Structure 1
């Protein structure tokens, strides 16, 4: 990618000069653009250069999706992707700055330049892919249900869930809500804005179940013995998690290579065992 800074009249004059020098041969167009790059010096600077110059890697996180990121009352962040963010910053030779965001504002915040990379259990979707890049996938997931253990046998299929009077709780603005609204037409979809407390609402009987990433259902049944994940190894659909990036190929290539190394040297597996026990 490059940015052309010449005015239109200057560009036409330059084109005519190049044509006069090299004629109408089959390589004229390629030579013209090569000469144009040289003349303008207009190679776009990567976000990677900006990060290095700034000395900080700005990481967008919602802070409400365990085990990937969790924000405490004092404003500190912990989780698998917090550790990964620190490792990425170390690889870049910079410090980490965590930028709070929400599921609904992930893309607007990225587009407006509030952060350099989004981390914390972000689903790779085609609508997001239209507006941004993703790293290589970090985990295969899919949507699964979680309910109070006494009720889990009632909700084995989407057909059993999608019935009048069934309350499905959801955090607004993310892929959980999109899945519910695409697949549930009879059940009541109940929005609850605090994703960090949503499972407490489920335990308290404020809803019948929740549908979220299977990996989260496995973790939450450990944290809440009253809740049971419903066939999380056979989710309702296919999904993958990755890191959200601006449309900057240089930054993406660096992140993908760093991630490849993190997988091959055991860092990723070690963090999975630390936070998920598997």
Structure 2
């Protein structure tokens, strides 16, 4: 009996000792490595883009810098093509997606999300000749109109779901889609409101009409691997902290209330 008891005791102790190792997640890996690896695609103004010096800058980048500082580690940006960003996360190419990703139910089947950090919606950049003729996305729902967006995005999904009768063409980048409308080869570009606002300011003067009322609800959130609840818990607490201590507001004003950063992109 004593031998059985001793055996059980050893097994229990072994299980307790092994438990922390078994539950080690991304947070532990980040702290052990000494760096936070963030995956993003630098093409979504003003969230992430490349300046004249080749540096990746933007709203998400500044938040990531603050996040790494809160962890006491270095920040490592991993530039990743949008269509492969979730697979890259799942194969541990980086720790977290911070790339203006909309939290959708479809994506949530593959990865976990922290609480949304900003809410946007789809808007329209319209060919100037259609001013007054097209007043909302509903007016574009006609085979005579050519509508464009970016491949694999919620902009593309919104067009297919809500403007199904229009001719749709997808592009690899946002810039290609906008220029298709600027050059008169398409009638409308559908994309997230912050990007369309910046693109209109950059390239749309006298060439585009900005229908700025969002027609979808899209919460943007940080994505992590499924089951990593300790990381999600930390991220939610981090977000709550920066939204209440003024950090988030300062970063938001820099990228959404000012256009001074546009000079860094001009060539």
Give the unaligned 5+ runs of structure 2.
259-267
User: Which residue number in structure 1 is paired with residue 168 of structure 2?
Assistant: 189
Given candidates 146, 154, 161, the residue that maps to 1:167 is 146
After superposition, give the CA deviation of every residue in 1:66-85 in whole Å (9 maximum; x if it has no partner): 00000246542011111111
Task: Show the counterpart of 2:209.
Answer: 228
What is the CA distance between 1:36 and its match in structure 2? 8.5
The alpha carbon displacement at 1:37 in A equals: 4.3
SS at match of 2:100: strand
Q: 1:58, 1:196 → 2: CA distance?
A: 26
- Structure showing greater radius of gyration is 1
Which residue is 2:16 aligned to?
Answer: 38
Segments of 5+ residues of structure 1 without an aligned counterpart are 1-16, 22-33
Query: Is the 2:136–2:211 contact (alpha carbons within 8 Å) kept by the matching residues of 1?
Result: no
Does the residue aligned with 2:78 lie in a helix, a strand or coil? Answer: strand
Cα distance in 2 between the residues matched to 1:48 and 1:192: 36
2:256: which partner in 1? 276
By how many angstroms is 1:209 displaced?
Answer: 0.7
User: Do the aligned partners of 1:162 and 1:184 also contact (CA within 8 Å) in 2?
Assistant: yes
> Which residue pairs with 2:28 in the alignment?
49
Q: Is 1:37–1:43's contact at 8 Å kept on the other side of the alignment?
A: no
Partner of 1:81: 60
Q: Are 1:137 and 2:116 an aligned pair? A: yes
Contact kept in structure 2, 1:146 and 1:217, CA below 8 Å: yes
Matches within 5 A, 1:106-185: 106-185=85-164
The structure 2 residue matched to 1:267, chosen from 247, 254, 260, is 247
Query: Which of 254, 257, 260 lines up with 2:237 in the alignment?
Result: 257
Which stretch has the larger CA shift, 65-74 or 85-94? 65-74
- Alignment correspondent of 1:245: 224
Corresponding residue for 1:65? 44
In 1, the alpha carbon distance for the partners of 2:76 and 2:106 equals 27
Greater alpha carbon shift after TM alignment, 250-259 vs 174-183: 174-183
How far apart, CA to CA, are the structure 1 residues paired with 2:18 and 2:63? 39
Which of structure 1's runs of 4+ aligned residues deviate more than 4 A? 34-37
Q: SS of the counterpart of 1:64?
A: coil
**Helix, strand or coil: the match of 1:169?**
strand
Q: Quick one: structure 1 residues 184 and 36, their matched pair in 2 at CA, closer, same or farther if it must change by over 3 Å?
A: farther
Q: Distance in 2 between matches of 1:55 and 1:216?
A: 33
Are the aligned partners of 2:148 and 2:186 in contact in 1 as well (CA < 8 Å)? Answer: yes
CA contact (8 A) 2:45 2:194 kept: no
Q: TM-score, normalised by structure 1?
A: 0.81
Instruction: Tell me the CA shift for residue 192 of structure 1.
Output: 1.6
CA drift of 1:43 comes to 3.3
**Deviations 1:145-183 (Å, cap 9, x if unpaired)?**
121344243322333111112111111112111222222
Taking a change above 3 Å as real, the CA distance of residues 259 and 152 of structure 1, as seen in their structure-2 partners, is: farther
C-alpha distance in 2, partners of 1:49/1:277?
36
